[in-house]
Structure 1
Amino acid sequence: MVALICPRCRTRNQEGRRFCGRCGARLARLCPACRFANGAEDRFCGGCGAALAPDAAPAAEAAPARYTPAHLARKILDSRAALEGERKQVTVLFADLKSSMELLAERDPEEARAVLDPVLERMMDAVHRYEGTVNQVLGDGIMALFGAPVAHEDHALRACYAALAMQESVRRYAEEVRRARGVPVRIRVGLHSGEVVVRSIGNDLHMDYTAVGQTTHLAARMEQAAEPGTIRLTADTLTLVEGRVEVKHLGPVAVKGLAEPVETFVLVGVGPMRSRLQAAAARGLSRFVGRERELATLAAALEAAARGRGCGIALVGDPGVGKSRIVHEFVSREAARGWLVLEGAAVAHGRGTPYFPIVDLLRGYFGLRPGDGRERVREVVTRRVLGLDPALVTSLTPVLALLDAAGEESGWHDLDPGQRRQQTLLAIQRLAVRESRAQPLLVILQDLQWADSETLAVLDGMLDGLPSVRALMLLTWRPEHRPPWTPRPYLTEVHVEPLGPGSAGALLHALLGEDASLAALTRLLVERTQGNPFFIEESVRTLAEMGVLEGSPGAYRLARPLPEVHVPPTVHAVLASRIDRLGPEDKWLLQCAAVIGVDVPLSLLTAIAGAPEDEVRQSLERLRAAGFLDEARLFPTTEYAFRHALIHDVAYQSLLHERRRTLHAAIAAAIADRHAGSLDEHVERLAHHALRGELWDDALRYLRRAGLKAAAHSAHREAAARFEAALACARHLPESAELLGQVADLRLELRNALFIVGELPRMFEHLAAAETLADRLGDRARLGRVTAALTNSLWAVGEARRALDAGRRTLTLAEALGDEALAAVGHQYLGQAHHALGQYEPAIDHLRRAVGALEGEVSRLRLGMAGPPAVFSRTWLVWCLAERGEFDEAQRRVAETLEIAAASEQLYSAAQAHFAAGMLAMFQGQLADAVAAFEQSRSLCEAGNLRLTLSMTEVALGHAYALMGWSAEALAVLERATARCDAEHFRYPQCLGQIWTAEVLAGAGRTEEARRLAAEARDRARAMEARGLEARATRMLADVQAAAGDDTAAGGSYAEAIAVAGGLGMRPFAARCRLDLGRLHARSGRRQAAREALTAALEAFRALGMKHWVERAERALAATAD
Structure 2
Amino acid sequence: MTESPAPALPNATGQRRLLTLLFVDLSGSTAMAEWMEAEHYAAMLAGLRDLYERIVPHHGGVIARIQGDGMLAVFGHPDVREDDGRRATEAALELHAAVRGLRPPGPLPADFRGLTLHSGIHAGIVLVNDGDQMRGRFELLGNAPNIAARLSEAARADEVLASEESLGLQSQFFETGPRFNLQLRGRATPLAAYRVVGRAQVGRRFDASVRRGLSPFVGRESEMLMLQAALARALGGQTLWVGLRAGAGVGKTRLSEEFLRHAEDHADRPCHIHRGYCESYLSAEPLQPFLQMLRSMEGMPEAPPELLAAQQSAPAGRAEALLALLLVLARRTPQLIFIDDLQWADDASLHLLHRLRAACTREGLPLLLLSASRPLPLTELPRAHDDGAEIIELPPLSEGESARAVQQLAPQVDPFIAAEVRRHAGGNPLFIEELCHAAADAGEQLVEGQSSAAWLAALVESRVGRLPPDQARLVRLAAVIGNVIPVWLLEALSGCGEQHPAVRALAGQDFIFPDQSPGHLRFKHGITRDIIYEATGLHERQALHRRISTELAARGGPEGQLHEQLAYHAAAANDWPAAGLHAEAAGDQALAASALDRAKRQFRAALAALEFLPDGEDQGRGRRRRWIAVAQRLGMACVFDASKDDLRVLKHAAVLAHADGDPALVARTEYWLSYVGYALGETRDSLRHARAAVETAQACGDHALLAQLPGTVGQLQAAAANYAEALPMLDLAIARQRTRASKSAVNRIGLSFSLCCRAYVLGDQGHFEQAHEVFAEALAPFDGSGHAVEASIQGWRAAVFLWQGRWAEASASAAVAHRVGAQVRSMFTCAMGQAAGAYGAWMAAADPSALQRVLDATAWLAPRGGGLYNSFNHGWLADILSTQGQVGAARHHVAMALRRGRQQDWIGGAMAYRAAARLAAKVGDTAQARRYLSLARGAGELRNSDHEAAVTALVEAELRLDAGWATALHFARAEFSRMGMTGFLQRTQALS
Tell me which residue corresponds to 1:85.
15
1:137 maps to 2:66: yes
1:153 maps to 2:82: yes
- Whole-Å separation in 1 of the counterparts to 2:394 and 2:512: 17
Q: 2:740 aligns with which of 846, 851, 854?
A: 854
Instruction: Report the AA paired with residue 498 of structure 1.
Output: P
TM-superposed CA distance for 1:669, in Å, is: 3.9
Instruction: Report the AA paired with residue 692 of structure 1.
Output: A
8 Å CA contact retained: 1:748, 1:767: no
- Whole-Å separation in 2 of the counterparts to 1:596 and 1:160: 36
Change (3 A) 1:722 1:631: closer
Please show how residues 686-835 of structure 1 align to structure 2 within 5 Å: 686-716=566-596, 718-734=598-614, 735=619, 738-757=622-641, 766=650, 769=653, 773=657, 776=660, 785=668, 797=683, 803=690, 806-807=693-694, 810=697, 813-814=700-701, 824-825=707-708
Tell me which residue corresponds to 1:533.
429
1:274 maps to 2:206: no
TM-superposed CA distance for 1:197, in Å, is: 0.6
1:650 maps to 2:534: no
Tell me which residue corresponds to 2:398.
500
8 Å CA contact retained: 1:344, 1:446: yes
- Whole-Å separation in 2 of the counterparts to 1:794 and 1:366: 68
Please show how residues 1111-1122 of structure 1 align to structure 2 within 5 Å: none
Please show how residues 286-325 of structure 1 align to structure 2 within 5 Å: 288-302=217-231, 309-325=238-254
1:362 maps to 2:291: yes
SS at match of 2:563: helix
TM-superposed CA distance for 1:647, in Å, is: 1.5
TM-superposed CA distance for 1:217, in Å, is: 0.6
Instruction: Report the AA paired with residue 699 of structure 1.
Output: A
Tell me which residue corresponds to 1:617.
500
8 Å CA contact retained: 1:190, 1:220: yes
Change (3 A) 1:848 1:696: same
TM-superposed CA distance for 1:449, in Å, is: 2.3
The aligned length equals 886
| Deviation per residue, 1:1058-1104 (Å, 9 max, x gap) | xxxxxxxxxxxxxxxxxxxxx99x99xxxxxxxxxx9xx9xxxxxxx
8 Å CA contact retained: 1:316, 1:478: yes
Q: Which runs of 5+ in 1 are unaligned?
A: 1-78, 370-379, 403-422, 549-559, 1022-1028, 1045-1078, 1084-1093, 1098-1106, 1113-1122
Instruction: Report the AA paired with residue 678 of structure 1.
Output: P
SS at match of 1:194: strand
8 Å CA contact retained: 1:755, 1:948: no
Tell me which residue corresponds to 1:587.
472
8 Å CA contact retained: 2:876, 2:911: no
Change (3 A) 1:468 1:673: same
Instruction: Report the AA paired with residue 210 of structure 1.
Output: L
1:225 maps to 2:156: yes
Tell me which residue corresponds to 2:315.
401
SS at match of 1:225: coil
Instruction: Report the AA paired with residue 797 of structure 1.
Output: T
Higher relative contact order (CA 8 A, sep 6+): 2
Question: Normalising by structure 2, what TM-score?
Answer: 0.70
1:600 maps to 2:485: yes
TM-superposed CA distance for 1:274, in Å, is: 0.8
TM-superposed CA distance for 1:447, in Å, is: 2.1
TM-superposed CA distance for 1:307, in Å, is: 6.2
Q: Which runs of 5+ in 2 are unaligned?
A: 1-8, 852-868, 878-893, 958-966, 983-992
SS at match of 1:1012: helix
Q: 2:345 aligns with which of 431, 442, 451?
A: 451
Tell me which residue corresponds to 2:861.
none
- Whole-Å separation in 1 of the counterparts to 2:353 and 2:73: 36
8 Å CA contact retained: 2:103, 2:114: yes
| Deviation per residue, 1:1022-1073 (Å, 9 max, x gap) | xxxxxxx5x7699979999x999xxxxxxxxxxxxxxxxxxxxxxxxxxxxx
TM-superposed CA distance for 1:497, in Å, is: 2.5
Tell me which residue corresponds to 1:1012.
935
8 Å CA contact retained: 2:755, 2:775: yes
Instruction: Report the AA paired with residue 739 of structure 1.
Output: R
8 Å CA contact retained: 1:872, 1:909: no
8 Å CA contact retained: 2:898, 2:912: no
TM-superposed CA distance for 1:882, in Å, is: 11
SS at match of 1:206: strand
Q: 1:474 aligns with which of 365, 370, 374?
A: 370
Instruction: Report the AA paired with residue 742 of structure 1.
Output: R
Tell me which residue corresponds to 1:573.
458
Tell me which residue corresponds to 1:349.
281
Tell me which residue corresponds to 2:859.
none
Quick check: 316-325 or 526-535, which moved more?
Answer: 526-535
| Deviation per residue, 1:911-932 (Å, 9 max, x gap) | 559979999x999x99999979
- Whole-Å separation in 1 of the counterparts to 2:311 and 2:674: 95
- Whole-Å separation in 2 of the counterparts to 1:462 and 1:959: 63
Q: 1:975 aligns with which of 835, 856, 875?
A: 875
8 Å CA contact retained: 1:346, 1:451: yes
TM-superposed CA distance for 1:660, in Å, is: 4.0
Instruction: Report the AA paired with residue 528 of structure 2.
Output: I
- Whole-Å separation in 1 of the counterparts to 2:48 and 2:839: 83
| Deviation per residue, 1:838-857 (Å, 9 max, x gap) | 368975884476247426x4
| Deviation per residue, 1:92-131 (Å, 9 max, x gap) | 153669869969997896x998886565344323222222
8 Å CA contact retained: 2:61, 2:74: yes
Please show how residues 171-320 of structure 1 align to structure 2 within 5 Å: 188=117, 190-201=119-130, 206-213=137-144, 214-218=146-150, 220-221=152-153, 225-227=156-158, 239-246=168-175, 265=195, 267-268=197-198, 270-282=199-211, 285=214, 288-302=217-231, 309-320=238-249
1:124 maps to 2:5: no
- Whole-Å separation in 2 of the counterparts to 1:248 and 1:790: 48
Quick check: 744-753 or 653-662, which moved more?
Answer: 653-662
SS at match of 1:613: coil
TM-superposed CA distance for 1:904, in Å, is: 8.8
Tell me which residue corresponds to 2:889.
none
8 Å CA contact retained: 1:190, 1:219: yes
- Whole-Å separation in 1 of the counterparts to 2:207 and 2:500: 40
TM-superposed CA distance for 1:467, in Å, is: 2.3
8 Å CA contact retained: 1:346, 1:357: no
| Deviation per residue, 1:579-625 (Å, 9 max, x gap) | 222233322322232233322222233444xx322599332222212
- Whole-Å separation in 1 of the counterparts to 2:667 and 2:828: 24
TM-superposed CA distance for 1:358, in Å, is: 0.4
TM-superposed CA distance for 1:287, in Å, is: 5.2
Alpha-carbon RMSD: 6.2
8 Å CA contact retained: 1:123, 1:166: yes
- Whole-Å separation in 1 of the counterparts to 2:103 and 2:915: 84
- Whole-Å separation in 1 of the counterparts to 2:770 and 2:437: 61
SS at match of 1:348: coil
| Deviation per residue, 1:300-358 (Å, 9 max, x gap) | 5455556665343322221222333344344442349765555443321249x7xx240
8 Å CA contact retained: 1:700, 1:729: yes
8 Å CA contact retained: 1:137, 1:143: yes
Please show how residues 916-1065 of structure 1 align to structure 2 within 5 Å: 942=821, 975=875, 990-991=905-906, 994=909, 1007-1013=930-936, 1015=938
Instruction: Report the AA paired with residue 628 of structure 2.
Output: A
Change (3 A) 1:430 1:709: same
| Deviation per residue, 1:821-873 (Å, 9 max, x gap) | 55643565577789958368975884476247426x42x3427xxx6444456
TM-superposed CA distance for 1:699, in Å, is: 2.4
TM-superposed CA distance for 1:732, in Å, is: 1.7
Please show how residues 626-641 of structure 1 align to structure 2 within 5 Å: 626-633=509-516, 635=518, 637=519, 639-641=520-522
SS at match of 2:536: coil
Question: Normalising by structure 1, what TM-score?
Answer: 0.63
SS at match of 1:349: coil
| Deviation per residue, 1:877-924 (Å, 9 max, x gap) | 8899999999999999888755555699743278559979999x999x
8 Å CA contact retained: 2:658, 2:666: yes
